[in-house]
Structure 1
Amino acid sequence: MRIVTAKEFQDWLSHGEVLEKDSHGAKVIRLTDGKLLKIFRSRRLPLLARLRPDAARFDDRARRLQAEGIQTPTICETCWIDRDKLVSACLYEPLAGLPLDKLFRDNRDQFDTLLPQFAAYIYLLHQRGIYFRSLHLGNILRTPEGHFGLIDFLDIRFKGRPLGGTLIRRNFQHLRNYLQRRKVQNFPWEELMTAYRAASKSSS
């Protein structure tokens, strides 16, 4: 991984559009050419973070998901922003689509219509052994072609076999916690679970 110069990073900050930030600074920047720069400030042990920086782990997960037929952004480059402070980054082509949280807010009827497909998509992830702790409406896109894709998956785990009941319940609890934190009202939870069970039965 190359080390980005301070001037290059400052140019990205000056000319790009900051889409996400936290108390430490920018997290996602849209560059002038349309690519996105995703910045990782690692909280892992320094030795592990240097040997396997978060940007490289994100890239690896993108490739593994794509190999499973799961759509993700296309990674163009991984780099160090500040190796001493364990700040790495991915430069990638964004995945076209509409986040499901926006669809839920702006077009509830369409979201409800898509609910069986959304449930079947979650079931597909589980059957492929993909445990996505950050399973929530903001991390799943509806693409223009009518498919789904994932956009923020650093904490994803590949179990190598279909998820068991405990992990499935835990995964749905992550989604439920997200809805509660965001104070999402009137989410069709029972309908989602019914559709998930229907997806499970139809595949057996």
Structure 2
Amino acid sequence: MWLMSNVEYAALTTGASVLMRDGFGLKVLQCQGNRIVKLFRTKRLLSTSVVYPYSLRFTRNAKRLNRMGVPSVEVERTFYCHAIRRHGVIYPMLEGEALVAILANGEANDDLMEKLAGFIAQLHKQKIYFRSLHLGNVLLLPDGRLGLIDVADLSFNWLPLSMWQRRRNFRHLLRVSQHRQLIERFGIERFIECYLDAAGISCGEKSRFLSRLVTAPT
């Protein structure tokens, strides 16, 4: 890991565009050469992120996704900058457009929604549990495939995902009001049924999945 000085951080981010920030400061920057700098803060002193930073989790997850055939970013370098008290990763921008932007620019795109349902089903078949699943973290790539960004909060399970985990993934996907409205154009129940078909869920389990989705705990 690169122990980055304040001077080096300033040189890296001079002229950068801010892509994301929150109440704690900058989160994602687009720097020269279409390099992305993603910053991670330690949220609690008593946290596993103190000994195993999110930057390393992000890098590990991105590498494993790519090995499994799921397009994701390719991290060039991880760093820690004491001056800003942030860990970070540097990677070339993944070419593509976020689904939220595509869907917000026009009418319901049935082919894209069916592709997304099948993509989620494939992730679950591969025992991948992406806790940060939402329309802003899934990109449509130039070759027509879907890819993932912001992959720090992701796990690779030994066992098949439970129905509770699958429902929780959908609750997370639908909890952002704008994203839910975009999916409603296609039809939420129709979207979930496309997923269930692609996932090979039995008819009996389908009805239970749909009926419990609304009341499943987060």
TM-score by length of 1: 0.89
The answer to which of 70-79 and 38-47 deviates more is 38-47
- State the match for 1:173 in structure 2: 171
1:19 aligned partner: 19
What is the rounded CA distance, in whole Å, between the counterparts of 1:129 and 1:62 in structure 2? 15
1:33 and 2:33 aligned: yes
Structure 1 residue 44: Cα displacement: 4.2
State how far apart, in whole Å, the 1-side matches of 2:36 and 2:135 are. 20
Gaps of 5+ in 2: 202-218
d(CA) in 2 for partners of 1:38, 1:84: 13
Unaligned runs of 5+ in 1: none
How far apart, in 2, do the equivalents of 1:9 and 1:84 lie? 9
Deviation at 1:47, TM superposition (A): 6.8
**Using the alignment, how far apart are the partners of 2:84 and 2:129 within structure 1?**
31
TM-superposed CA distance for 1:49, in Å, is 3.0
2:84 maps to 1:88:
no
Whole-Å separation in 1 of the counterparts to 2:47 and 2:111:
48
Equivalent residue letter for 2:103: F
Instruction: Write the letter of the residue equivalent to 2:191.
Output: L
Cα pair 1:50 1:83 within 8 Å, conserved: no
User: Is residue 127–residue 161 contact of structure 1 (8 Å, CA) maintained in 2?
Assistant: no
C-alpha displacement of 1:183: 6.6
Quote the Cα distance in structure 1 between the aligned partners of 2:83 and 2:75.
20
Is 2:58 the partner of 1:63? no
Check 1:182–1:144 CA distance in 2 against 1; reply closer, same or farther (3 A cut): closer
Contact 1:128 1:160 in 2 (8 A): no
- Distance in structure 2 (CA, Å) of the matches to 1:58 and 1:172: 22
Equivalent runs, 1:102-181 vs 2, <5 Å: 102-109=101-108, 111-178=109-176, 180=177
Aligned equivalents of 1:78, 1:46: Cα separation in 2:
22
RMSD: 2.2
Instruction: Measure, in 2, the Cα distance between the counterparts of 1:44 and 1:70.
Output: 31
Paired residues in the alignment total 200
- 1:126 counterpart letter in structure 2: H
Structure 1 runs of 4+ aligned residues shifted over 6 Å read none
Q: What SS does structure 1 have at the residue aligned with 2:170? A: helix
| 2: CA distance, partners of 1:143 / 1:118 | 12
The answer on whether the counterparts of 1:19 and 1:28 sit within 8 Å (CA) in structure 2 is yes
Q: CA deviation at 1:106?
A: 0.7
Matched-pair identity in %: 31
> Residue type matched to 1:128 in 2?
Q
1:3 counterpart SS class:
strand
Q: 1:63 to 1:197 in 2, by over 3 A?
A: same
* Higher mean displacement: 155-164 or 123-132: 155-164
1:38 and 1:91 in contact (8 A); partners too:
yes
What's the CA shift string for 1:67-99, capped at 9, x where partnerless? 2111001100000022893x1000001111110
Q: CA deviation at 1:162?
A: 2.2
1:107 counterpart SS class: coil
Task: Name the SS for the 1:184 alignment partner.
Answer: helix
